[in-house]
Amino acid sequence: MVSALKYKYRNIGFKLTPQRIAILDYLEGNTGHPSAEDIYNAVAKKFPTMSLATVYTTMGALREKGNVLELKVDPDKKRYDPNTAKHNHVICISCKRIFDIPAAGSIDLPDSLTGVFSVLESYVEVRGLCLECQTVNAKK
């Protein structure tokens, strides 16, 4: 796994340190949309001297290179998505879990904006309660 990561990221000019490799390894296939704190807590077990600032710096560099999405779905903290393919999110308003859903076509602008505004990207957030939180709320 490490050699595949090294090849992938060195080709885009991303400096690889042991801490960054551990962060990349944690993100690989991760669908949990972790925060920087989540990443730090997972990786610091292997690198106890690593700082939270290292995680923020690494995630910022990955975002700039287009290798991670920075989600602003949680007002309390940034969340990250290593899945950079076009998709949308369903967010539980209770437990804050985020689930990926396929992108649903394009968004049609109202006639008043056609020709006045050019859509570069669109993103849909669906908010509600996951099954687990629905069950907990039903028991209250």
Q: How many domains does the chain have?
A: 2
pTM over 0.95: no
Helix, strand, coil % (nearest 5) of the chain? 35, 15, 45
Pick the last residue of a domain from 39, 54, 80: 80
The model's pLDDT over 1-43, given as tens digits with 9 standing for 90+, comes to 555 666 677 777 778 888 998 999 999 889 999 999 999 999 9
60 and 25, same domain (yes or no): yes
C-alpha distances (whole Å) from 123 to each of 9, 71, 73 are: 26, 11, 11
90 and 54, same domain (yes or no): no
Domain that holds residue 73: 2-80
The model's pLDDT over 98-120, given as tens digits with 9 standing for 90+, comes to 999 998 777 778 888 888 888 88
